[in-house]
Structure 1
Amino acid sequence: MGVIRKTLNWYAKLSPGRGRTSPPYEHVVQIGDPTLRKASEPVPVDTIKNSEVQTLIKRLEHVLNKYGSVGMSAPQIGVNKRIFVMRHTSKEISYVSPAIVKMRGMSVIPLTVFVNPKLKVIDYTKIIHAEGCESVRSFSADVARYKKVEITGYNEEGEKTQQIYVDWPARIAQHEMDHLDGKLYTDIMDRKTLQCTCWEEVNLSKGRVAIPFVP
């Protein structure tokens, strides 16, 4: 309990007199925020082009870029609406070794918006890879996901859309769909594989490492 109090005190010193902000946030909420555990509500299709929904979509795209993420859901920025965005650029993939790119089946994903998405499993084969989440910052664990899925829904223009994803793109889509149902990868992970991704740096720095929650 002492560690928790020290952490809270550390955050309190970051910005004296700081006030509350309102969602949609420009940051990603962290595990423990009730928003992450609520099933999100569908968006009335005739409101997709309204300013409120369009603002939410633009904010999702902004936070996706800000954090350099491959997927971002509305609950992660504090709004329980069934919307997520995903993208994986060639530049991001270039930072990963060719062997891992091949093993994980990574491929370029253009910026894609899904409103009221529904998931259908095409290939029930489950693949296990290490997975992380911006809402569980600086941790990862092995997670089994279906190899191939179909996502249907609406795009940012309110038009019907459908995409089939395989391997790593399928993992991203499944991860974001879980967020819309109030689930986190920690619910289905192999618990023995959970790790702090910077554990080696903590040791090298003799414990003098703070886990960042901003990019």
Structure 2
Amino acid sequence: MNAADALIADQIRAVLTAAEAGDGTAPIVEAGDPVLRTDTRPFDGQVDDAELEKLAEVMRATMLAAPGVGLAGPQVGIGLSMFVAEDPGARDPEVARVRQREPMPLRVVLNAGYERAGADDVAFYEGCLSIPGYQAVVARPRTIALTGVDLQGNPIAEEVSGWSARIVAHETDHLSGILFLDKAEMRSLSTNESVATFWHQPSTQKAAAELGFSLPSGLVM
């Protein structure tokens, strides 16, 4: 094992040891930590199957406790190409319809990548557990083609659409050192409280008009 992979193994074991000694979760790394701006390394047997499965459990527990709907390796201080994601969906039927936010069962993806699959973009507020307290509008493809492998090493190659595509793209971006604010419309930047007060509508058209930013041409709402 080379030095870079040995470091990944050490990072994983440190997270697992701390989680076992605590409440089963890991501290979430916040913006400014270099690990969030570093390209991750693919999983290539740096730890055994049992340790990898335990890491997935700790990451899921951390995500749910936050609470959030996705968490990537760098967000717990591990430079590994891995994310977990799970979304109960939107409670409001109109929000679910406009944002295509249907329930997404747990996904654990290693060595993830994605490409646009289709011409349509959608723009909505999103946030990040590593940038707590803030949200901003990000335009993303409505549908993406996801690749990677699962915990058992089985290949993943599927199209993901709607809000699930947004979550998967956001988490996969983390694996290349990209934060959502790198792609956001910065005039839309709002605290969570402001989003709840002013911009809770299913679409972002009102926010765009009142905060003075443009939505992408050809945007599908």
How far is 1:198 from its partner?
2.2
**TM, length-normalised to structure 1:** 0.75
- CA distance in structure 2 between the aligned counterparts of 1:197 and 1:121, rounded to whole angstroms: 29
What are the equivalent positions in structure 2 for 1:25-40 lying under 5 Å apart? 26-40=26-40
How far is 1:50 from its partner?
2.9
- CA distance in structure 1 between the aligned counterparts of 2:56 and 2:169, rounded to whole angstroms: 19
What are the equivalent positions in structure 2 for 1:69-108 lying under 5 Å apart? 69-89=68-88, 93-94=90-91, 97-108=92-103
The residue that corresponds to 1:111 in the other structure is 106
The residue that corresponds to 2:49 in the other structure is 50
Residue 63 of structure 1 aligns to a residue in which SS? helix
- 1:81/1:99 Cα in 2 relative to 1: closer, same or farther (>3 Å)? same
Q: What root-mean-square deviation, in Å, do the aligned CA atoms of Structure 1 and Structure 2 show?
A: 2.0
- CA distance in structure 2 between the aligned counterparts of 1:124 and 1:67, rounded to whole angstroms: 34
Percent identity at matched positions? 26
- CA distance in structure 1 between the aligned counterparts of 2:154 and 2:48, rounded to whole angstroms: 10
- 1:56/1:191 Cα in 2 relative to 1: closer, same or farther (>3 Å)? same
Gaps of 5+ in 2: 1-13, 17-24, 197-221
- CA distance in structure 1 between the aligned counterparts of 2:153 and 2:172, rounded to whole angstroms: 19
Verify the 8 A CA contact 1:75 1:81 in the aligned structure 2.
yes
Gaps of 5+ in 1: 1-21, 202-215
Cα offsets for 1:160-179 (capped at 9, x unmatched): 22332111111111100110
The count of aligned residue pairs is 175
**TM, length-normalised to structure 2:** 0.73
Verify the 8 A CA contact 2:124 2:139 in the aligned structure 1.
yes
What are the equivalent positions in structure 2 for 1:1-215 lying under 5 Å apart? 22-23=14-15, 26-44=26-44, 46=45, 49-89=48-88, 93-94=90-91, 97-199=92-194
- CA distance in structure 1 between the aligned counterparts of 2:119 and 2:28, rounded to whole angstroms: 31
- CA distance in structure 1 between the aligned counterparts of 2:140 and 2:120, rounded to whole angstroms: 8
